[in-house]
Amino acid sequence: MEQLLLTVNMIVHLFVTVAFIGGPFYMLLVTGNRKKMGPDFDYPMDRYLENIIEGQPLRCFIYLFLLVLTGFFFPAIHYLFQGSFKELTTLALYAIVIKHFLILIAFSVMLYMYFGPATKVREIMGTITPDKKPDRSVVDTLFFWRAKRRALCKTIFIIQIGIIIFTAILRFAE
């Protein structure tokens, strides 16, 4: 039964990991392709892209929560069946500490991105209507905040790669 629970938890953990890292990866692709189209504002396209991007932070927060939760289920399942926590090597302990530190950094950057640049983009997009071309200064400000948001997304993606690396180290160093 222990192995079954560990396997199911691992499947959920891996699925959520893919979803967690996939979000920023695809947002970087979407925003990178939009950037190639130049600085002109095209309401239907830009509104469409923002509709896709706006839902991503909430999904990332949910995925991060589920990753932490399923991550804590591994030792909990072991404790439930063995009556003690698994002894870990020094390398595994370092990997756990670094992984959780990276998770805190990712969460902090996600919060800043959501309440900083993403909020500014939402506010500016809220002032733009499809029937009137926005002033160049509004478009420039919008693109400035989009660039900030994209840079933070790239930072989160790099941190996520680090989390995955330390997860692999943790699994093999036990």
* Closest C-alpha among 45, 19, 24, 54 to residue 150: 24
Per-residue pLDDT reduced to its tens digit, 151-161: 999 999 999 99
Q: What whole-number distance in Å separates Cα of residue 153 and Cα of residue 157?
A: 6
Dihedral angle of Cα 90, 91, 93, 97, to the nearest 10 degrees:
140
Token duo for residue 150: 């994209």
pLDDT score at 88: 86
Give me Rg for the CA atoms of the chain. 20
Q: How confident is the model at residue 172 (pLDDT cuts 50, 70, 90)?
A: confident
Task: Read off the pLDDT of residues 48-77 as tens digits, 9 standing for 90 and up.
Answer: 999 989 888 889 999 999 999 999 999 999
Q: What is the mean pLDDT of residues 98-110?
A: 95
Calculate the average pLDDT of the chain: 92
pLDDT on residue 23: 87
Q: What is the token pair recorded at 26?
A: 């695809």
Contact present, 168 and 125 (Cβ < 8 Å) = no
Which domain, by its residues, includes 96?
A: 2-173
Structural domain total, the chain: 1
pLDDT tens digits, 130-159: 999 999 999 999 999 999 999 999 999 999
Neighbours of 91 (CB within 10 A): 13
Of the candidates 48, 61, 52, which has an alpha carbon nearest to the alpha carbon of residue 26?
52
- C-alpha 99/C-alpha 13 separation (Å) is 15
pLDDT at 86 over 90: no
The structure's pTM equals: 0.86
